[in-house]
């Protein structure tokens, strides 16, 4: 599983990750540090289906184990979007160990930027008392959009569920 850091995130975390290796886009997430309601947050967007989630209150200490935090965010998002525990376990088993890389391409970063703009427009949905932003995540994943792993317009939620179903057929 690849976690692609944007250039500002690389600078903020003082990392110089390698370019991503060949990995199915469904197992790649691009990450960016943003600010919502004056608090640091992490935005993660799947490179295949544009499914996104936001973790609020991402302080310096959280960066010490960003992979664990992102994996918890992925699990929370999959659960929120209707995936079973077995599907979530299958996803993580197929994805492999997490590794920090650079982002996964211009198109994916453009979609990350659109998700960021959407999150900023909806910052009133932020729950200041919780890390995983369930309501904001649900809204982001219900917007019709384009993505790198699917043709035409669709919602990240529907595409995520298509990708999870395809993984079960492997």
Residue 147 pLDDT exceeds 70 = yes
8 Å CB contact between 126 and 55 = no
List the structure tokens of 103.
């982002």
8 Å CB contact between 81 and 141 = yes
pTM of the model: 0.93
Q: How far apart are CA 49 and CA 146, in angstroms?
A: 8
The pLDDT tens digits of the residues spanning 82-115 come to 999 999 999 999 999 999 999 888 888 888 899 9
CATH architecture of the domain covering 2-169: 2-Layer Sandwich (3.30)
Pairing, β 99-102 against β 2-5: parallel
Question: 127: number of CA atoms within 13 Å, CB side?
Answer: 12
């Amino acid at each position: 599983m690849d976690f692609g850091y944007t250039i500002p995130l690389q600078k903020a975390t003082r990392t110089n990750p390698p370019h991503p290796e060949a990995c199915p886009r469904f197992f790649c997430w691009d990450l960016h540090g943003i600010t919502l309601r004056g608090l640091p947050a992490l935005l993660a967007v799947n490179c295949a289906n544009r499914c996104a989630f936001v973790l609020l209150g991402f302080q310096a200490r959280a960066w010490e184990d960003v992979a664990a935090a992102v994996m918890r965010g992925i699990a929370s998002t999959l659960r929120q979007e209707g995936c079973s525990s077995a599907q979530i376990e299958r996803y993580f088993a197929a994805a492999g160990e997490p590794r920090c890389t650079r982002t996964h391409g211009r198109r994916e970063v453009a979609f990350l930027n659109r998700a960021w703009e959407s999150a900023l427009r909806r910052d009133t949905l932020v729950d200041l008392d919780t890390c995983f932003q369930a309501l904001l995540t649900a809204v982001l994943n219900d917007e019709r959009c384009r993505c790198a792993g699917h043709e035409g317009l669709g919602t990240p939620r529907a595409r995520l569920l298509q990708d999870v179903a395809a993984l079960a057929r492997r």
